[in-house]
Structure 1
Amino acid sequence: MRFLQLSAIVLLVCGTVVLACFVGKATIDGYTIFSFNPTDYPTTGQFGDFVGGVVGTFFALSGTLLIYMNFKEQTRENKRSAFESSFFEMLKLYRENVSEFRYKKFMGGEYDMYENRQVARLIFEEFIECYREIRKYSNSKNELDYLHPVYAKKLRSIAVKQNPEIDIIEMASIDLAFLIVFFGLGEEGEAIIKANIINKFSKDYYYKLIYFIKLKPKRSNASRFESWERLNQLTYENFHKVIEDLYQARKQPSQPKSSFPLVQDFDMGKAYNKYYGGHQFRLGHYFRHLYQSYTYLNDHPDLSEKEKYSYGKLYRAQLSTYEQALLLVNSISSLGMKWEFQADASDLAGVSSNLITKYNLIKNLPGGHLSGIRYKTYYPDVSYENEF
């Protein structure tokens, strides 16, 4: 567009210069264009032919370019209007998604109803609980004690690309914790999780780990929850012995054999509600819509990069700190790696969009880490608010 504008100006200047030179030369030679003497009409006509044929061509070309530029600009504005209509509709749907969040949870001895952005805070707190429980269970520093060699290689390749300082055991723990919180440990959720990780983690590790996490009941089951807390207060060695005894007795839960009274206290033959019930019905649509909104913005052909960032910043301003924290752990997990760590399946070029970094989507996270998760390690190029 800049080239066309410059070309139109050059043609206009050239036409003006040619006209000025022609009129000046004619005046010097004694000819006059503005003559009412009939004998001068043939000469005047020749002047008109020259101006119309030569000078007029410059002006006509310049005018054509200006008209074309105006048409292009109008087309661009129409496309921008269409984009903004869709974009702000997406923003409206996002707000509706958040406004529909509801979560009834047992807290402080009674059930309380939480709504809207409060729900994002509670879900993230559950994630942190699960993450810490996984880290407590997983004490080895050898990645192959947990990960399938092929998957370990894939995570290392991501770390090399993103930041060599990334701890892939920590990354895998975040993945497991988010899967558990997202799908829950009901019969269906557990099956989905196992299908998702069967080729990624050591079977001996994840079967026992998931069994351990399943031991955690809802807080409303006071006696069993008290047993769960006592389990987590044991020394590391006894902690694993109790879990192993419970795991070995899973086929006969009412008759566990163990030297630890705590094993009997869990009373595994009795039904109970598991603590991690899952949030897929809350977060599934929420994250899909958020991702589609940003890919729609990022892939739009009629916006400059500066304009894209401006719209992305407007959208990001709607995200609470806990929503940004959930987006962080979602993007590290296998469910959300397409945000940054790997290309979306629909991207034939196989190139990641780097949406988190490009639009600074976790810009407002506080401090340097979240409950031990060093998020700056995963996204070193984000311009964090707390760095200013």
Structure 2
Amino acid sequence: MKKIDKRIKDMYEVFHNHLIIFYSSISLLFFFFVFLIYFRAHWGYLGTTEDHTKSLSPKDVIKYPLSEKFADSIKDSAEILSQNANLIIGIVTAFGIVFTLLFQLIESKKQNFRTNFFEYLKIHRENIQQIETRGKRGHDAFIDILNELNYVYTNFPSNTNSYQAYRLEWSYLFVFFGLGRTSTPIVREYIQKKYPSFNNEVDQVINYLTDLKSKYTDHNFSSKINVLGYTFSVRERNSEHNLKCILDGHQSDLGHYYRHLYQTITYIDEFPTLYFFERYSYAKNIRAQFSNHSIALFIINAYSPLGNIWINGKLIEKYHLIKNLPVSLLIPFGKDVRKDFPNIEFEM
């Protein structure tokens, strides 16, 4: 499939600009039509094997003069062509006008697509820069969110059935929605709806993670110790993850970011006048905006029920959106993308 698509791409690049395909085809059809008329005029002479054989016989050269018959056939063909010349020219001109108008219409649509696409790309870049968490923005924010996810995933309560079945999915949902007065009921309802067989342990997991969150409510990582009846605040720092205020939720940033990303890719995928290699080329422009950590978080989002439309719709495999993903980033989360996406040739 890749070889066929590459050949189509090469042909398209060679012939597209000057309409050589169209005019070459018209020329071939025109000459075919001319020769068709010519042979029809000669059919009685050239189509009769016996007469043709006699005309080539040395004994009957005078009786069957080839040159005279050939001259007569040429004369007849010339008369037929002269009578139909205007018709032929009119047909070729009409086809040329129709094809040119269709080509201009297609090019106009493609130009509108390019204008809209680069506007989508601009908004996509702005969305990346607007993502902020714990004082970090843009691609640095993705690193921070992935570290938070790794911490929640690592500390997920192991005494639950969901630990083995949906550990990563639930961890991502808690990081995405967060835990708090308004967000906890949302994430609880969402999990109970998506995973009805685990309703009994949802509150157990929420209570555990709420206690985990309380350890990071102080921005200065301060903890209190008692010495000889006096209370002192000691400043601490999580050297492994450098986290503050975990499980506050990132749905306002990530939700908008992923919705717009999906809209952009589907806009490319569903545009009718693009060849596949053109769609793939535009998708590569989007893929080039990913950093290592943002693409890792993207595929984790696709594994979750929030973004599984990326996998179910075959968009990831179709455009190799995670081709540049460092595979090692997902190993701590128990995911092997090489097995899940065998058709993608990962670069790292």
Normalising by the residue count of structure 1, what TM-score does the alignment of the two structures yield?
0.63
Deviates more, 1:122-131 or 1:61-70: 61-70
2:148 is the alignment partner of 1:101: no
Aligned to 1:202: 198
Aligned to 2:272: 301
Shift of residue 54, structure 1, vs aligned partner: 2.4
In the TM superposition, 1:57-68 aligns within 5 A as: 57-68=87-98
Q: Count the aligned residue pairs.
A: 280
Q: Distance in 1 between matches of 2:201 and 2:245?
A: 20
Secondary structure at the aligned position of 1:57 is classed as helix
Shift of residue 305, structure 1, vs aligned partner: 1.1
Shift of residue 94, structure 1, vs aligned partner: 0.6
Aligned to 1:362: 322
Aligned to 1:146: 162
Aligned to 2:311: 340
Q: Distance in 1 between matches of 2:274 and 2:73?
A: 57
Q: Distance in 2 between matches of 1:126 and 1:288?
A: 22
Q: Distance in 2 between matches of 1:83 and 1:210?
A: 46
Q: CA RMSD in A?
A: 3.4
Aligned to 1:28: 71
Cα deviation, 1:209-248, whole Å, max 9, x if unaligned, reads: 111011122263646699xxxxxxxxxxxxxxxxxxxxxx
Unaligned segments of structure 2, at least 5 residues: 1-18, 42-66, 226-243
2:198 is the alignment partner of 1:193: no
User: Which of 74, 86, 90 is matched with 2:116 structurally?
Assistant: 86
Secondary structure at the aligned position of 1:319 is classed as coil
Secondary structure at the aligned position of 2:155 is classed as helix
Shift of residue 146, structure 1, vs aligned partner: 3.4
User: Which of 116, 123, 128 is matched with 2:150 structurally?
Assistant: 128
Aligned to 1:179: 173
Going from structure 1 to structure 2, the CA distance change for 1:28 and 1:381 (only over 3 Å counts) comes to closer
CA contact (8 A) 1:184 1:277 kept: yes
CA contact (8 A) 1:184 1:278 kept: yes
Shift of residue 190, structure 1, vs aligned partner: 0.9
Q: Distance in 2 between matches of 1:125 and 1:366?
A: 16
Q: Distance in 1 between matches of 2:268 and 2:68?
A: 58
Shift of residue 57, structure 1, vs aligned partner: 2.6
% identical equivalent positions:
27
User: Which of 38, 41, 54 is matched with 2:84 structurally?
Assistant: 54
Aligned to 2:106: 76
Aligned to 1:243: none
Shift of residue 89, structure 1, vs aligned partner: 0.2
Going from structure 1 to structure 2, the CA distance change for 1:278 and 1:17 (only over 3 Å counts) comes to same
Going from structure 1 to structure 2, the CA distance change for 1:129 and 1:312 (only over 3 Å counts) comes to same
Aligned to 1:236: none
Aligned to 2:13: none
Going from structure 1 to structure 2, the CA distance change for 1:14 and 1:223 (only over 3 Å counts) comes to closer
Cα deviation, 1:55-90, whole Å, max 9, x if unaligned, reads: 433333233223222222211111110101010000
CA contact (8 A) 2:131 2:254 kept: no
Cα deviation, 1:139-191, whole Å, max 9, x if unaligned, reads: 56xxxx339xxxxxxxxxxxxxxxxxxxxx45x22221111111110121111
Normalising by the residue count of structure 2, what TM-score does the alignment of the two structures yield?
0.70
Aligned residue type for 2:293: Y
CA contact (8 A) 1:12 1:59 kept: no
User: Which of 286, 289, 293 is matched with 2:260 structurally?
Assistant: 289
Q: Distance in 1 between matches of 2:24 and 2:342?
A: 41
Going from structure 1 to structure 2, the CA distance change for 1:2 and 1:379 (only over 3 Å counts) comes to farther
Structure showing greater radius of gyration is 2
Secondary structure at the aligned position of 1:198 is classed as helix
2:211 is the alignment partner of 1:215: yes
Deviates more, 1:356-365 or 1:273-282: 273-282
Going from structure 1 to structure 2, the CA distance change for 1:31 and 1:187 (only over 3 Å counts) comes to closer
Secondary structure at the aligned position of 2:327 is classed as coil
Aligned residue type for 2:311: E
Aligned residue type for 1:9: S
2:317 is the alignment partner of 1:384: no
Q: Distance in 2 between matches of 1:71 and 1:204?
A: 65
Aligned to 1:255: none
Cα deviation, 1:280-317, whole Å, max 9, x if unaligned, reads: 11111111100100011111111111111111011100
CA contact (8 A) 2:149 2:171 kept: yes
Q: Distance in 1 between matches of 2:73 and 2:87?
A: 26
Aligned to 1:13: 31
